[in-house]
Chains A and B, each alone.
Chain A
Amino acid sequence: MKDTDFIKQLKNQSRDAYSKLLDDFQDKVFGTCISFVPNKEDAQDIAQEVFVEVFKSISKFKGDSKLSTWIYRITTNKCLEFIRKRNTKKRFAFLQSITGQHFIIDKTQYFTEMNHPGVILENKEKSKALFAAINDLPETQCLVFTLHKIDGKSYQEIAEITNKTISSVESLMFRAKKNLQKILEHYYKKNL
């Protein structure tokens, strides 16, 4: 089936077309989500939201980019939105604690438990440090580093998803690695 026919069927909300879309993309979308949010349950919720968004917004899809690129764009936006919300919650809790307002801190709400099926148990603690460090990067660097290093996407694919040139993706990767080095150095100096 041609891509245009397939998109037409998706726009017509055909059940078969969505079944095929899920067959083709569920692992890829879930893989990207868990690369950003290393928790199986959270990643599953975000991945589901991605498909709901595709369903709602497919009528706006003009075909300027590949369908896969468009879906990855939605996926990365949803993941970054989730991370932003989680960080705002953390900041709010911190502000409340320094202004002296009494409330019980539910730590599980602010720190996602590391539950990534692709990480072996002996690497769990170090992976936690890695994901925490990635989370401290500026958003664009976090996006590019995660897509390339964790999700395994090529610079070409990342350039298409983020609407940037390959050279700017390379420069963001360079800065991300440099910043990660600094963040981890600071972390280990404090903890070793």
Chain B
Amino acid sequence: MKTQNNIQDEIDEVLNLSNLVAKVKAPPFFKDRTMQSLFSENTIEHSSFFWFTPKFQMATLLVFIFLNVAAFIQYNTTNYNEQLDSFAERYGIYDTETLIQLN
């Protein structure tokens, strides 16, 4: 019984401690350190390309690849041979008339 009372006294004492915890102030230089961390992070976040996120980078890369492939296909299918012939004729490398005569 005595032990039970002792335990209850200890518990009451511990629970009453919550009323004895004094108010505390922030440590010195807390403000300076926090201001520094706030505004140094700020400069990193707002560099000139802060909006160019990986999502945009990937989209840009895909558009670039798509345009290149499209241009390549277009170039191959349409006027590649005609342009090559006219280039050859202009510089006298290749003459279509001679070829016809030989045939």
Measured CA separation A189–B4 after assembly (Å): 9
Given that A30-B30, A31-B23, A185-B7 are contacting pairs, would A130 and B35 also be in contact in the complex, using a CB cutoff of 8 Å? Answer: no
Complex Cα spacing A181 to B7, Å: 10
CB distance from B49 to the nearest CB of A (A): 19
A138: Cβ under 8 A from any B Cβ: no
Tell me if A185 and B11 are in contact (CB < 8 A): yes
Contact present for B35 and A150 (CB under 8 Å): no
Q: How many residues of B contact A (CB 8 A)?
A: 29
Chain A residues, CB < 8 A from B82: none
B39 interfacial contact with A, CB 8 Å: yes
Residues of A within 8 A of B20 (CB): 119-120, 123
Complex contact A192–B3 (CB within 8 A): yes
A contact face: mostly helix, strand, loop, or mixed: helix
A52 to B33 alpha-carbon distance, docked (Å): 11
Contact yes or no, A118 B42, CB < 8 A: no
Query: Which among A12-20, A60-68, A88-96, A158-166 touches the partner chain?
Result: A12-20
CA distance A119 to B24 in the complex (A): 10
Instruction: Give A40 to B42 CA distance when docked, in angstroms.
Output: 27
With contacts A18-B38, A26-B31 taken as known, whether A189 is within 8 angstroms of B7 at the C-beta atoms is: yes
Q: Which residue of A lies closest to B18 (CB)?
A: A149
Tell me how many residues of A have a C-beta within 8 Å of chain B: 42
A152–B21 Cα distance when bound, in Å, is: 10
Contact A184 B22, beta carbon cutoff 8 Å:
no
Q: Besides A27-B26, A118-B22, A177-B15, 10 other CB < 8 A contacts?
A: A30-B27, A48-B30, A48-B37, A52-B38, A52-B41, A119-B22, A123-B20, A126-B13, A129-B14, A192-B3
Which B residues lie at the A interface, using CB under 8 A?
Answer: 3, 6-7, 10-11, 13-15, 17-27, 30-31, 33-35, 37-39, 41-42
A binding-site residues for B, Cβ under 8 Å: 13, 15, 18-19, 22-23, 26-27, 29-31, 34-35, 40, 44, 47-48, 51-52, 55, 116-120, 123, 126-127, 129-130, 133, 149-150, 152, 177, 180-181, 184-185, 188-189, 192
Q: List 14 A-B contacts (CB under 8 A).
A: A15-B39, A22-B30, A30-B26, A40-B27, A48-B34, A51-B34, A52-B34, A52-B37, A55-B38, A118-B23, A127-B21, A149-B18, A184-B15, A188-B7
